[in-house]
Structure 1
């Protein structure tokens, strides 16, 4: 009986939390993190300040919820693109990178929330790392079977050392690239590719989302395609 009585209350709580996040996202879209104001959110929803704090303890608590949601949605978008496993590694790289860019361009304020400048004084929750790795995870099997050239050799060495000092990294590789599990070389190559593609994606997509390509004679899609091709060549992806 107690569970039945709590059901509607719990649903109302989740609905109100969702409405608070929706207003917060509008504020982010209008003015970035600096525009996030709990008092204005409460006013928009017809809540008192103390009532709002029943749903989120403070601004950072709300910010953490928005960050978790952004990572989860980005991971879902890339995970959906990762289902096309019958394609070549080079083509899968193109599809995954395109899905990442498409999500970021369609949700620029949320992309900048997780990949933009750090918020002064804000400390992200511990579970953010796992969510960030879920976004990059589908790229790991793309590179696991690659044959990196000399330009990427130092990066592979770095990733080998990382595997030796952080067991969690090996578990991450095993989750997304099980064929590389237990193979230090293949795991290090997968990691090197994933880290490098993340850096390239962040650079190209971040510039595009920030509007830095205006008047430069190219667009985000063509730049990303060129970068994907160079990275695929560097890892010998077919």
Structure 2
């Protein structure tokens, strides 16, 4: 490697490290003061940078938030996918449990990230239509639909297929689901949304501090809820 290439590589690493520090401080500010606390100037002050310098990394606050949401959401989905893929495809109930457990573990380790993508909206922020957060959200939805699709041979007997039509759902989501899971009926997508809601409901209560005052170990309630969810799909785990 030439000296010029080494210099460029070193600059790229430093830029990547600085960008990661900016995002970490943004989450820390959010943890202390809510979404309103995310400010490029505040981050620059904490890092000892000039405003002009930090703008060379993220021209606007919304650019930072868009990148942050994409990173955080992708991290969550990757954790869930890795846990799911560690379980045999022949055991769909256990794969659902693995996905749910990994999402809860990720949320507990990254509460600010969970709030950013599932909870507290950032005032004035409008996500771009084709931003990385949208891609990660679609990836998460596809993963959940895949879990329901694997369970559908038994789940369909628990959920009559005549309650929903494709027109009841977002057209973009429908197009994606029908391309990847052509055999699924509209009811399966409704079941997916219900699965998502049950996975995230208790998780959100825990992240926002509501369960710890009521039960010493929220994990037991979450685990029982997931077992009941899996049973509602005609599966065991």
Q: CA separation of 1:218/1:44 partners in 2, compared to 1, >3 Å: closer, same or farther?
A: closer
Q: How does 1:1-238 map to 2 (within 5 A)?
A: 4=5, 6-86=8-88, 88-125=91-128, 126-127=130-131, 128-144=133-149, 145-146=151-152, 147-148=154-155, 152-153=159-160, 157-158=164-165, 162=169, 166-171=174-179, 174=180, 181-185=181-185, 188=186, 190-217=188-215, 219-238=217-236
Aligned-residue Cα RMSD (Å) equals 2.9
When the two structures are superposed, what TM-score results if normalisation uses the length of structure 1? 0.82
Q: CA separation of 1:89/1:33 partners in 2, compared to 1, >3 Å: closer, same or farther?
A: same
SS at match of 2:126: coil
- Work out whether residues 82 and 92 of structure 1, in 8 Å CA contact, stay in contact via their aligned partners in 2: yes
Residue 178 (structure 1) aligns with: none
Shift of residue 235, structure 1, vs aligned partner: 2.0
Q: Give the aligned length.
A: 228
Gaps of 5+ in 1: 175-180
Gaps of 5+ in 2: none
- Work out whether residues 84 and 96 of structure 2, in 8 Å CA contact, stay in contact via their aligned partners in 1: no
